[in-house]
Amino acid sequence: MKNNFNKKLRQLAAENKQALSTRTAKVGGYSVVLALIVLAILVAVNVLFSVLPSKFTQFDISAAQLYSLTSDTKVVATNLDKDVTIYWITQAGQESTVLDKLLDRYQDLSDHITVVKKDPDIYPTFAQQYTDETVVNNSLVVECGDKSRYISYDDIYQVDTTSYYTTGSVSQSFDGEGQITSAIDYVVSDELPKIYLLSGHGEGTLSDTFTNELTRSNYETVEDFSLLNVDEIPEDCDTLLINAPTSDISEEELTMLRDYVQGGGKLLVLSGPQKDTKLTNLDALLDDYDVTVNDGVVVDTDREHYAFTAPYVLMPDIGSSDITDPLTEESSHVIVPIAQGLTVGGNSSVTALLTTSDEAFSKAAGYAMTTYDKEDGDTDGPFTLAVSIEDSTADGKIVWVPTDYLLDDMYNSYSSGANLDLVMNSLSWMVGKNDAVSIRAKSLNNNYLTISSSSATVLKIVMIGVIPVCFLLLGMDEVLRRRKMV
């Protein structure tokens, strides 16, 4: 009996051991299979993400949104019907991380865009077929067919020293998207709008900032165009620009300009008060549309309508129009220095773009003024400081700003580029280039929180006084409550 009992015990133990081994094997097998399934899923996910466009797998968390593309770029890229190659001239191991991500975004937008790296150590003469400039590492060449544009790395990262003399700091910005999109738009365009620059009347020289922006926005400029040796303004003139003339036009030139606008021409005039002469014939162009140019220099005594401490450096109100609405959306402030005042009549074809306050008046003494106070002979405002005109005869258009200094680099810098934007918007409106590429450079400057002195005082009281006192009272209440419990 005892042997049989021991035998059964051994048999039961063996069966339990076998069952346990089988269960362990099954569990282990399940674990291995599950691990393989999870591993396969991870590999599949990694493969899937590797083929997805970078816009779905990489997110732009940079403060300036350096890798994000605007709607202008998306319109240009998605409408491409030609193949564009972007050559990235960079040495191996010295690629710009920002450009790398940005160029990936462009390739993701269109199958017509291809990015090709060219190492100057391997292809030392490659860039010479596109530019005579000294090629900086991480520069670009955008090419389509026979047209190309070279983009220097120095143009992508821009440094503006103008503000150093006023703020003590240098302004830095990133213009990668603006430069690349503009270059793409340029190389795929069959024709570029032509801007003719009138000469022969002591016109002012265009600033480098403006001429560079014209190139960047894909306008072709024809310089030193004179009305004295032509019978009419050429048909390929999309806009005639008269910039800061110092002498008047002739009667014959006035007739040609009138015929040009009434025939559908586009005219942009930047003309302000003169020291020793009057531009009677030029100003007569506005008489046809019931707009009067007042003599003298406009002074606005409303502190909200002039910059710094100079009442003649005007900060006008911005009206609503296709030209100015983008400025209003950006909360921009146009600065109009040393200007004449325009008085607009009831002509429905005229739109006031910029206006002074009701406290403005025109100093008859002009440049010879000795006081900003109103004197006998001065003309009461308010005044218009920019107008757009649509001639009903044949779609002719005029934009007139009565100052010689709108595009001066200093005043444009003071306006944070709003002055330049006003002119570029005017050109786009006149030539019908509504899809014009106008992508602002992205600031790399530190953003500071600016508060008024009264707000700062309140914060100090709250942070130094109120909050510590509240914590002290809470602590005293807790101590007293615990003592009562004891």
CATH number at residue 162: 3.40.30.10
Q: What phi, psi does 64 have (nearest 5°)? A: -95, 5
Q: Are residues 201 and 187 in the same domain?
A: no
pLDDT for 453 beyond 90:
no
Q: Are residues 415 and 272 in the same domain?
A: yes
Least confident of 22-26, 316-320, 426-430: 22-26
Cβ neighbours for 149, distance < 8 A, ≥ 6 positions apart: 141, 142, 183, 186, 187
Q: Quick one: which of 204, 203, 158 has its CA closest to 64?
A: 158
Domain membership of residue 437 (yes or no) is no
Q: Quick one: which of 361, 379, 260 has its CA closest to 314?
A: 361
Domain hosting 481: range is 449-486
pLDDT one-digit tens code per residue, 98-148: 899 999 999 999 999 999 999 999 999 999 999 999 999 999 999 999 999
How many whole angstroms separate alpha carbon 103 and alpha carbon 177?
9
Q: Are residues 24 and 135 in the same domain?
A: no
Q: Span 186-210, mean pLDDT? A: 93
Q: What band does 80 get if pLDDT is binned at 50, 70 and 90?
A: very high
How many whole angstroms separate alpha carbon 145 and alpha carbon 305?
51
Q: Are residues 34 and 133 in the same domain?
A: no
pLDDT mean across residues, the chain: 85
β-pair partners for 362? 298, 379
Segments of 359-426 assigned E as strands: 360-363, 379-380, 384-391, 396-401
Q: Are residues 413 and 299 in the same domain?
A: yes
> Residue 394's pLDDT is what?
83
Cβ neighbours for 284, distance < 8 A, ≥ 6 positions apart: 254
Residue 378 vs residues 246, 279, 370, 449: alpha-carbon distances, Å: 23, 20, 13, 42
Q: Span 373-384, mean pLDDT? A: 95
Kindly report the CATH number assigned to the domain that includes residue 209.
3.40.50.880
Domain membership of residue 68 (yes or no) is yes
Domain membership of residue 175 (yes or no) is yes
Helix (H) or strand (E) holding 115: strand 113-118
Least confident of 62-66, 85-89, 121-125, 469-473: 62-66
Q: What band does 15 get if pLDDT is binned at 50, 70 and 90?
A: low
Q: Are residues 251 and 392 in the same domain?
A: yes
pLDDT one-digit tens code per residue, 384-416: 999 999 988 888 999 999 999 999 999 998 888
pLDDT for 60 beyond 50:
no
Domain membership of residue 364 (yes or no) is yes
How many whole angstroms separate alpha carbon 266 and alpha carbon 323?
15
Segments of 327-395 assigned E as strands: 336-337, 342-344, 350-355, 360-363, 379-380, 384-391
Q: Are residues 156 and 211 in the same domain?
A: no
> Residue 447's pLDDT is what?
46
Q: Are residues 117 and 235 in the same domain?
A: no
Q: Into how many domains does the chain fold?
A: 4
Q: Span 213-229, mean pLDDT? A: 91
Q: Span 41-60, mean pLDDT? A: 59
How many whole angstroms separate alpha carbon 264 and alpha carbon 252?
19
Q: Are residues 221 and 364 in the same domain?
A: yes
Cβ neighbours for 118, distance < 8 A, ≥ 6 positions apart: 87, 88, 89, 90, 126, 127
How much of the chain exceeds pLDDT 70, in percent? 81
How much of the chain exceeds pLDDT 90, in percent? 56
Q: Are residues 227 and 363 in the same domain?
A: yes
Q: Is the pTM of this model over 0.75?
A: no
pLDDT one-digit tens code per residue, 328-358: 988 889 999 999 999 999 899 999 999 999 9
Q: How many CA atoms lie within 13 A of 59 on its CB side?
A: 1
